[in-house]
Amino acid sequence: MTTRGQTQQFDKALFKASVEKHLVTTYAKTPETADSRSWYLAVGKALAEISTGSLLETEKQIAEQNVRSVNYLSLEFLIGRLTGNNLISMGLYEEVSAAVEELGLNLTDLLEEERDPALGNGGLGRLAACFMDSLAAQEYPAVGYGLHYEYGLFSQSFEGGHQVEVPDAWRGIEGYPWEVVRPELGQTVGLFGSVETYTDKAGTSCRRWVPAMTVEGVAWDLPIVGYDNKSVYPLRLWECRSPAPFNLARFNDGDYVGAQYGQLEAGNVTKVLYPNDNHDQGKTLRLMQQYFHCACSVADILRRHFAAGNKIEDLAKLESIQLNDTHPTIAIPELMRILIDEHKLGWDAAWAISSKVFAYTNHTLLPEALERWSESLIADMLPRHMEIIFEINHRFMTLVEEKWPGNNEIKRKLSIIEEGQQRMVRMANLCVVSTYAVNGVAALHSELVKRDLFPEFNELFPGRLHNVTNGVTPRRWLKFCNPGLTELVNEKIGTEWPAKLEQLSGLAKFAEDKKFQKRYLAVKKDNKQRFADWVQDNMGIELDTNAIFDVQIKRLHEYKRQHLNLLHILSLYHRLLNEPTFDMHPRVFIFAAKAAPGYALAKDIIFAINKVADKVNNDPRLGGKLKVVFVPDYRVSLAEIIIPAADVSEQISTAGLEASGTGNMKLALNGALTIGTMDGANVEIREEVGDENIFIFGLLVDEVLKQKEEGHDPYRYYHADSLLRASLDLLNTDEFTPGNPGQLSAIRQNLLDGGDPYLVLADFADYVKAHEKIDAEYRDQATWARKTILNTALVGKFSSDRSIRDYVNNIWKLKAVSVK
């Protein structure tokens, strides 16, 4: 692999010595007895030694310059493996590869030993990881704040086609070599208790929170290595521990052990990542995670601010806090509490600061994903915060009254507090009221945020609502994961594109070049072979790389419509067996997806796809034309081998429901052609690559809304479309579950009698047609080559470097700091 100039001093002999030292002293292995995993750990530690030094130096230089920085608060950072990526950013990939070879090791094999840190669910967590990469690459001062979960997202296996979840102890027994604990950054966090009034020395009556118990926050830093520069930024993850010695007196006073909180052990707070994606469950422990995260992070931001010699009044000048969805919203009342109760600012002075510090990113319009917490739960766990939320709402309601006098309906709609049997706090409303900028994550989504989710807020706060279209880091999602294509691109347009992805457009002029087409297709073929080998080795399924590799990889959710894909597969199965004139190019349908453990229909869909796979992969009547592979345990490192191998990218959500999508960008960048609805970032991908180079189908957002309003009638489609009927009815037979008819009928039932909430049936016919077009166009390899090359060439906009520059210019207003 070609790397850019190394950014670190590198002495091969010293490095080898360091690896061997760690092997012996850190991991207690001799070179003779060490297995591959121990060598990986030792190499990781030797590298982390370099990056930790740079992290401290970066911290120091940024503090000295006392410049504005952003703090990215997220409950999730789905970073994936660090070793390969950091090697690329450090410019040391080849050097280290050579060094370990001299130790008798193979770098590629060592990298496979690393377990993915899976500290996130899906898109939102992965976005946070890409953003950290792009902040460091462009040297915009930043700290990422997250949680140090003991267990990441569960790993998935299949038993009899059913999803089985296994806990993910991502750090292993030895610990993760890249992380470093920072005991000096520890924080103490209060919980529960009461609020009291007291008179201060000046004779003013004040409020203060007297927590009933405290827990300790321990900081762990992971290094985010800047690509081709000397900056290393911290991803700071908080681990919750109980105070030592445990504060039993306090605890017993309020009888917290006895009655309600006996279950609470500090170590439980950061024990496990909640495995829900786009769904809110309202669990007490989750709120505790959120507050623990916010309290530690806000305190650390203030610590840095004061350590650099600044005054509290200058906080908004120097710090921005970006809230990754509403999950860290409680940081807002936490900062207000500190400003008022601890720094003794009046409400207006505190609000003037706080409301210029926070900004909020919305990632969803799905009602079930909008966080609402019961007032009584917040009042119990965080009584002072609840008071502050009421005060924010009170003042906000005054504003609403001024704007719409006497209009109680609008007040009810906009209020941060939702009235009802039990009052609820609407976290999104709290965010919009309390931040200086709110953004959606793709142009269409941001329009819908303005038009449908927050129209009145948009009137009240003109200019507050923005768009920042998501992006992905080209370092991991092209340079690292697709070395073959990287080499080809380097040869044509030079090596600067990983930091300047717009330069990919220089490839467009080769789209018709026969020689280039051949080489581009050969790279794709190699990547397909690499994945096919993986599938053969791990799943025992043989794949033909001449087939179209059709890929849908993302969380399993009804709105993402994996079951629409399944119905299309069933329609092909039906036609191959029943339509004598039907022909198709061989196709491999590749799925990877985790379902939230409590999401029954999502699990049914996984089961159904697995059962259909069993049958079609072994049915000689199909002549090998149809294969279905559901790859278990979808994760970042698996995406890294599937994406480069994809011919077709399935982005088929019901229009209006996928805020952006980012897998769509990664797949297009690696030359997969999108079949997709006019949803999320698909709309902008179409704008960039041109209508000829993407397969758009299905209802538009407003058609979806209209159809829902008028009453969608699934049976109308069922009766009118014989292919749809045949496909659906297969789910009621025992074709795929021999001897057990009905095992797959829950999906059919949901679509027909459950009202088909995501309009699968309404889009089916158009989807089938779009696939027929794909089939025809793939057979003409010159046409296909042109289109796939143009996809790579024309998606430079979707670099997360561009997203970060949008945030920097329109929201954060940062200046880059070049670390010397």
**Which residues of this protein are in contact with ligand 26Q, per CB under 6 A?**
121-124, 127, 274, 276-278, 280-281, 286, 363-364, 369, 371, 441, 470, 658-662, 680
Query: Which residue, 482 or 660, has its beta carbon nearer to ligand 26Q?
Result: 660
**What is the rounded distance in angstroms from the CA atom of residue 25 to the CA atom of residue 267?**
29
Q: Of 148, 464, 555, 797, which one is the catalytic site residue?
A: 555
Residue with tokens 């993915």, as numbered in its chain: 116
Across the strands, what pairs with 776?
A: none
Residue 363 annotated as catalytic: yes
Residue 271 annotated as catalytic: no
Residue with tokens 């027929």, as numbered in its chain: 772
Q: Residue 424: which of 435, 416, 412 has the closest Cα?
A: 416
Query: Which residue, 151 or 778, has its beta carbon nearer to ligand 26Q?
Result: 151
- Kindly give, in sequence order, each residue whose CB lies less than 8 Å from that of residue 249, ignoring residues fewer than 6 positions away: none
Q: What is the DSSP string of 635-681?
A: -HHHHHHHGGG-SEEEE-PPTT--S--SHHHHHHHTTPEEEE-S-TT
Shortest distance, position 326 Cβ to ligand 26Q, whole Å: 8
Shortest distance, position 595 Cβ to ligand 26Q, whole Å: 14
Shortest distance, position 485 Cβ to ligand 26Q, whole Å: 23
Query: Which residue, 280 or 688, has its beta carbon nearer to ligand 26Q?
Result: 280
Residue 236 annotated as catalytic: no
Shortest distance, position 364 Cβ to ligand 26Q, whole Å: 5
- Kindly give, in sequence order, each residue whose CB lies less than 8 Å from that of residue 376, ignoring residues fewer than 6 positions away: 422, 423
Query: Which residue, 297 or 660, has its beta carbon nearer to ligand 26Q?
Result: 660
Shortest distance, position 569 Cβ to ligand 26Q, whole Å: 24
Query: Which residue, 231 or 565, has its beta carbon nearer to ligand 26Q?
Result: 565
Query: Which residue, 78 or 219, has its beta carbon nearer to ligand 26Q?
Result: 78
Q: Are 274 and 59 in contact (CB under 8 A)?
A: no
Residue with tokens 């899976």, as numbered in its chain: 118
Shortest distance, position 214 Cβ to ligand 26Q, whole Å: 24
**What is the rounded distance in angstroms from the CA atom of residue 496 to the CA atom of residue 303?**
38
Query: Which residue, 127 or 378, has its beta carbon nearer to ligand 26Q?
Result: 127
Shortest distance, position 555 Cβ to ligand 26Q, whole Å: 7
Q: What is the DSSP string of 141-168?
A: -EEEEEE--SBEEEEEEEETTEEEEEEE
**What is the rounded distance in angstroms from the CA atom of residue 137 to the CA atom of residue 327?**
26
Q: Of 372, 445, 554, 611, which one is the catalytic site residue?
A: 554
Across the strands, what pairs with 799?
A: 472
Residue 560 annotated as catalytic: yes
Query: Which residue, 39 or 149, has its beta carbon nearer to ligand 26Q?
Result: 149
Six token digits for residue 98: 């050579």
Q: Of 560, 568, 575, 787, which one is the catalytic site residue?
A: 560
**What is the rounded distance in angstroms from the CA atom of residue 425 to the CA atom of residue 415?**
9
Shortest distance, position 154 Cβ to ligand 26Q, whole Å: 14
Six token digits for residue 523: 């790279």
Q: Of 214, 662, 677, 737, which one is the catalytic site residue?
A: 662
Q: Are 128 and 72 in contact (CB under 8 A)?
A: yes
The strand order across the sheet containing 648-651 reads 626-630, 587-592, 548-553, 648-651, 673-676, 695-696
Query: Which residue, 247 or 284, has its beta carbon nearer to ligand 26Q?
Result: 284
Query: Which residue, 82 or 427, has its beta carbon nearer to ligand 26Q?
Result: 427
Query: Which residue, 83 or 470, has its beta carbon nearer to ligand 26Q?
Result: 470
Do the bridges between strand 417-418 and strand 465-467 make them parallel or antiparallel, or are there none, so unpaired? unpaired
Compute CA 622 distance to the chain's CA centroid, rounded to the nearest angstrom.
Answer: 38
Shortest distance, position 453 Cβ to ligand 26Q, whole Å: 14
Q: Of 22, 45, 148, 363, which one is the catalytic site residue?
A: 363
CA distances from 350 to 316, 326, 340, 356, 464 (A): 11, 21, 6, 10, 20
Q: Are 233 and 144 in contact (CB under 8 A)?
A: yes
**What is the rounded distance in angstroms from the CA atom of residue 312 to the CA atom of residue 231?**
27
Shortest distance, position 75 Cβ to ligand 26Q, whole Å: 7
Across the strands, what pairs with 220?
A: 181, 237
| Residue 466 main-chain phi, psi, to 5 deg | -125, 170
Shortest distance, position 456 Cβ to ligand 26Q, whole Å: 24
Shortest distance, position 424 Cβ to ligand 26Q, whole Å: 13
Contacts 24+ apart (CB under 8 A), 726-734: 726/570, 726/571, 726/574, 726/578, 727/567, 727/568, 727/570, 727/571, 727/574, 727/764, 728/567, 728/570, 728/752, 730/570, 730/573, 730/574, 731/570, 731/608
Q: Are 207 and 387 in contact (CB under 8 A)?
A: yes
Residue 662 annotated as catalytic: yes
Query: Which residue, 274 or 607, has its beta carbon nearer to ligand 26Q?
Result: 274
Shortest distance, position 696 Cβ to ligand 26Q, whole Å: 17
Burial environment of residue 579 by CB neighbours within 10 A (0 to 12, 13 to 18, 19 or more):
exposed
Residue 394 annotated as catalytic: no
Give the residue nearest to ligand 26Q (CB). Answer: 123
Q: Are 636 and 619 in contact (CB under 8 A)?
A: no
**What is the rounded distance in angstroms from the CA atom of residue 160 to the CA atom of residue 156?**
13
Q: Of 666, 748, 787, 802, which one is the catalytic site residue?
A: 666
Q: Are 130 and 76 in contact (CB under 8 A)?
A: no
Query: Which residue, 286 or 625, has its beta carbon nearer to ligand 26Q?
Result: 286
Residue with tokens 């059913």, as numbered in its chain: 162
**What is the rounded distance in angstroms from the CA atom of residue 572 to the CA atom of residue 774?**
14
Q: Residue 584: which of 616, 618, 631 has the closest Cα?
A: 616
The strand order across the sheet containing 417-418 reads 372-374, 424-426, 417-418
**Active site (catalytic) residues:** 363, 554-555, 560, 662, 666
